[in-house]
Amino acid sequence: MRAPQSHLRFAPARLPEETAELRADLRALLEREHRAGTWEDRGKSWNGHCPELSRKLGEAGFLGLTFPKQYGGHERTQLDRYVVTEELLAAGAPTAAHWVADRQSGPLILRFGSDEQKERFVPPIARGESCFCIGMSEPDSGSDLASLACRATRVDGGWSLSGTKIWTSNAHFADYCIVCCRTEAKDDGNRHAGLSQVIVDLKGSTGITVRPILNLGGLHEFNEVVFDDCFVPDDCLLGEPGDGWHQVTSELAYERSGPERFLTNFHVLRALVGVLSQSDRESTRRLVGSLLSRLWALRQASISVAGMLQAGELPNVEASLVKDVGTALQQELPEIARAVALDEQIDDVAFWEVVHHATMLAPAYTIQGGTTEILRGIIARGLRLR
């Protein structure tokens, strides 16, 4: 039997010294805004909606960091963007108003869009004024995205879109949704053929119903979105018709590789360290030390992924591994925090609220952006184990 060939590679990467200034500037802005009461609840992080903060971040030059200057960007590196993302997450800043647009919709439009689409959609993203959401999952298509049924048919001047998307985060306040839909009949020989992506103007179109779905924490973060004969003009078809699968999978690479996959729960660790600061128990200190070292190892792996992206590589397997290990740690964290705080007889109400809230949201981490099983399939294929 031939031994499996390993393609796993975490090239050592360091954050360049120039990023220290960027980090300090952003940290100062965030501290100022937090003190001024722009936001209070650190727990919502990239699910928290604060258009005012997103605009301020855009104005200060922290968004569209890697985009071309021609489209309002700053032509900085993936490692610069990494630092900005890390600081926003560590501060628990509410960033949902720009997160998806800055992370994946902007890069997607820059890569596959027409010049007119780049001019129209990208500068407002860099200014933090344009909110996008992701229209991939459907009631009967999640992991198996290629089976989706949402359909766009040709009409005069554009397309008529009909079908249902589900779990669509932020659709209730987003300006646009990039919808993956079928534009050609199913080809049983090639399941990935005949898909396309369209940019749907959620506020300016008719034939769209957005219904809230409350998550386990009772929060309204995602939705069911029904398109019923919704008109999408020709100039909102993104990329080539029929090329949607290739586009959507490159979009997922942006979605999976960032530090949100291990830092969304950073406020839980912060709260835990806060309440345990007086503890002199050796076992507690060891536990906190082990959590921090796991986090640090993930951070090094994640910086390495950012370094490879900057070098123009496509580290899909490494990014999947970071998401798998990172989301597992995020899911464990509230459980560990609960156990050690019970042991230490912590009765700080604010701390317990943080832990309870994080416990309710934790199951989502290993589902959103691709489930653990799907990621492990990608890793196994990358390592030629299947």
Ligand X SMILES: Cc1cc2nc3c(=O)[nH]c(=O)nc-3n(C[C@H](O)[C@H](O)[C@H](O)COP(=O)(O)OP(=O)(O)OC[C@H]3O[C@@H](n4cnc5c(N)ncnc54)[C@H](O)[C@@H]3O)c2cc1C
Residues engaged in binding ligand X (CB under 6 A): 133-137, 142-143, 167-169, 222, 364, 367-368, 370-371, 373-374, 377
As measured in angstroms, the least distance from the Cβ of 49 to ligand X is: 14
As measured in angstroms, the least distance from the Cβ of 244 to ligand X is: 13
C-beta closer to ligand X: residue 289 or 363? 363
C-beta closer to ligand X: residue 222 or 254? 222
As measured in angstroms, the least distance from the Cβ of 284 to ligand X is: 31
Angle between helix 349-361 and 266-276 (nearest 10): 150
Q: Is 268 exposed, middle or buried (0-12, 13-18, 19+ CB in 10 A)?
A: buried
Q: Is 132 exposed, middle or buried (0-12, 13-18, 19+ CB in 10 A)?
A: buried
As measured in angstroms, the least distance from the Cβ of 134 to ligand X is: 4
Q: How far is CA 89 from CA 150, 265, 354, in A?
A: 34, 9, 16
C-beta closer to ligand X: residue 159 or 167? 167
Characterize the bridge pairing of strands 132-135 and 176-182.
Answer: parallel
DSSP code of 39?
Answer: -
As measured in angstroms, the least distance from the Cβ of 367 to ligand X is: 4
Read off φ and ψ for residue 207, nearest 5 degrees. 80, 25
As measured in angstroms, the least distance from the Cβ of 103 to ligand X is: 12
C-beta closer to ligand X: residue 127 or 381? 381
C-beta closer to ligand X: residue 135 or 315? 135
Q: Concatenated DSSP letters for 211-225?
A: EEEE-TTS-EEEEEE
C-beta closer to ligand X: residue 40 or 140? 140
- How far is it, in rounded angstroms, from Cα 358 to Cα 125? 29
- How far is it, in rounded angstroms, from Cα 194 to Cα 203? 27
- How far is it, in rounded angstroms, from Cα 138 to Cα 150? 8
CA 330 to chain centre: 15
Looking at beta carbons, which residue is closest to ligand X?
Answer: 142
C-beta closer to ligand X: residue 33 or 260? 260
As measured in angstroms, the least distance from the Cβ of 359 to ligand X is: 15
